């Protein structure tokens, strides 16, 4: 496991409790020592006892060793700078799994794409893990599910097998794009929910943003090739609910501080852990513009971050001039407007009545 923050350490516990032999890489030798000797990570998981079998080291070479699986859990924006040192250590059969939920600033690449580029390994040996996975709850062994996704189903299944234990269950899919974007996009909606929470707005506002946020996430992910159903699964809706409703979420917390009137600079200074959503807003809006996807919620989050929109005025679900229920539709990626799911059958019935039962347009 590369990265001894809250998620890397918790995921190491998941793996060790499932019977795997785990070595954790912490870039600070003193943290590696604490984990190895005291079986504690007091910086990131205070009060949690780690499995006795977990070892930690500050040597990347020692951590990777002959491992069959290399999990990566560091902040997204720092991934690329670590790959030059990692690439020569990865064996020809090693499977590399991203636990990260961000896109790279500047390139807009997903983490599995950065890994593919930087390590030069085949997609079939890459996987991503995502889902409603607040680290501290899992570290306390509260029952949780996740999704492991890979272009190769066999790879996803092999990873899911090691990432399953008595309190943690991994499901599989092959929709890497949807699984990965689900984890990125829900962070942005969780920031928006945090903002309105910080302002003091209530459940109607939050439910409106949550619901419209899911539609926005689905439009974006489908435009980039995701399977729509992934957004209504653990990596989409599941993670959106967990992250938007928990004070444990750093993205939600960052949003709440913004809603309380702190500036972006103040929020970053106050956050002791990674809030990925803050760095992903700009690249996601660039990607959305490139495919013509409308993202009013993420747009307004970006304006609050820039200080150009007062958090009290955030109402992204009200920013349309049209009275049509824009984009309102079942979570299947198709809009109702002119779409077949709701309007067509009703239209046909009216036309049939008008035409004496001969159907729309006389057909």
Ligand X SMILES: O=C(CO)COP(=O)(O)O
- Which residues contribute to the site for ligand NDP (CB under 6 A)? 3-8, 27-28, 44, 73-76, 78, 82, 99-102, 133-135, 273-274, 276
Whole-number Å distance between alpha carbons of 51 and 54: 6
239 annotated as a binding-site residue:
yes
**Binding characters for ligand X, 171-210, by CB under 6 A (x = yes):** ----------------x--x--------------------
**Cβ count within 10 A of residue 66:** 7
62 annotated as a binding-site residue:
no
When the beta carbons of 56 and 231 are compared against ligand NDP, the nearer one is: 56
* Catalytic-role residue among 13, 39, 161, 186: 186
CA distances 358 to 67, 341, 344, 353, 354, Å, are 68, 21, 15, 8, 9
Candidates 10, 34, 45, 101: give the one binding ligand X (CB under 6 A).
101
Please choose, out of 228-236, 248-256, 317-325, 327-335, the segment that lies near ligand X by the rule CB under 6 A: 248-256
Pair of tokens at residue 218: 């689905």
**Binding characters for ligand X, 226-245, by CB under 6 A (x = yes):** -------------x--xx--
When the beta carbons of 99 and 287 are compared against ligand X, the nearer one is: 99
For 287-349, the DSSP string reads: HHHHTT---HHHHHHHHHHHT-S-GGG--GGG--S--S-TT-S-SSS--STT-TTTHHHHHHH
Q: Which residues contact 308 (CB under 8 A, 6 or more apart)?
A: none
Q: If we measure between CA atoms, which residue out of 73, 91, 60, 52 comes closest to residue 10?
A: 73
The distance of Cα 96 from the centroid of its chain, to the nearest Å, equals 18
When the beta carbons of 95 and 193 are compared against ligand X, the nearer one is: 193
* 242 contact choice in ligand NDP, ligand X, none (CB below 5 to 8 Å, kind-dependent): ligand X
CA distances 236 to 52, 157, 197, Å, are 34, 20, 21
101 annotated as a binding-site residue:
yes
Q: Which 3 state secondary structure label does DSSP give 58?
A: coil
Q: Please, are residues 276 and 243 in contact by the beta-carbon 8 Å criterion? A: no
When the beta carbons of 6 and 173 are compared against ligand NDP, the nearer one is: 6
Smallest distance from ligand NDP to CB 361, Å: 52
4 annotated as a binding-site residue:
yes
Q: Which residues contact 59 (CB under 8 A, 6 or more apart)?
A: 25
Binding residues for ligand X restricted to 132-161, rule: CB under 6 A = 132-134
Whole-number Å distance between alpha carbons of 184 and 174: 17
When the beta carbons of 23 and 76 are compared against ligand NDP, the nearer one is: 76
105 included as an active-site residue: no
* 239 contact choice in ligand NDP, ligand X, none (CB below 5 to 8 Å, kind-dependent): ligand X
44 annotated as a binding-site residue:
yes
Smallest distance from ligand X to CB 248, Å: 6
276 annotated as a binding-site residue:
yes
Is position 250 an interface residue for ligand X (rule: CB under 6 A)? yes
Strands 95-98 and 69-72: parallel
Binding region for sn-glycerol 3-phosphate: 101, 131, 186, 239, 249-251
Binding region: 3-8, 27-28, 44, 101, 131, 135, 186, 239, 249-251, 276
- Give catalytic residues, as residue numbers: 186
Instruction: Note the residues at the interface with ligand X (CB under 6 A).
Output: 101, 132-134, 187, 190, 239, 242-243, 249-252, 276
């Amino acid at each position: 496991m590369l990265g001894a923050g809250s998620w890397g350490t918790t995921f190491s516990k998941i793996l060790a409790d499932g019977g795997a032999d785990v070595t954790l890489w912490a870039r600070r030798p003193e943290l590696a020592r604490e984990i190895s000797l005291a079986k504690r990570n007091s910086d990131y998981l205070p009060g949690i006892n780690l499995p006795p079998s977990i070892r930690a080291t500050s040597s990347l070479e020692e951590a990777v060793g002959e491992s069959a699986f290399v999990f990566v859990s560091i902040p997204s924006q720092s991934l690329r700078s670590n790959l030059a040192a990692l690439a020569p250590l990865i064996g020809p059969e090693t499977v590399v799994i991203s636990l990260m939920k961000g896109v790279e600033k500047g390139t807009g690449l997903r983490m599995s794409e950065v890994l593919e580029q930087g390590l030069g390994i085949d997609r079939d040996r890459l996987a991503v893990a995502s889902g409603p996975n607040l680290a501290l709850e899992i570290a306390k062994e509260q029952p949780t599910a996740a999704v492991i996704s890979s272009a190769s189903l066999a790879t996803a299944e092999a990873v899911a097998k090691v990432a399953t234990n008595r309190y943690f269950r991994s499901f599989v899919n092959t929709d890497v794009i949807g699984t990965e974007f689900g984890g990125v996009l829900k962070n942005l909606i969780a920031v928006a929910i945090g903002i309105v929470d910080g302002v003091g707005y209530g459940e109607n506002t939050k439910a409106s943003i949550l619901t419209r946020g899911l539609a926005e996430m689905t439009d974006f992910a489908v435009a980039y090739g995701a399977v729509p159903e992934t957004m209504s699964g653990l990596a989409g809706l599941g993670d959106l609910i967990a992250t938007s409703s928990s004070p444990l979420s750093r993205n939600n917390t960052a949003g709440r501080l913004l809603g309380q009137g702190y500036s972006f600079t103040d929020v970053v200074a106050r956050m002791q852990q990674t809030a990925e959503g803050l760095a992903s807003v700009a690249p996601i809006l660039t990607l959305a513009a490139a495919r013509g996807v409308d993202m009013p919620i993420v747009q307004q989050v970006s304006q609050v971050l820039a200080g150009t929109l007062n958090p009290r005025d955030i109402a992204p679900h009200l920013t349309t001039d049209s009275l049509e229920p824009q984009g309102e539709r079942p979570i299947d990626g198709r809009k109702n407007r002119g779409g077949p799911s709701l309007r067509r059958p009703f239209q046909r019935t009216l036309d049939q009545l008008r035409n004496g039962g001969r159907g729309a347009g006389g057909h």
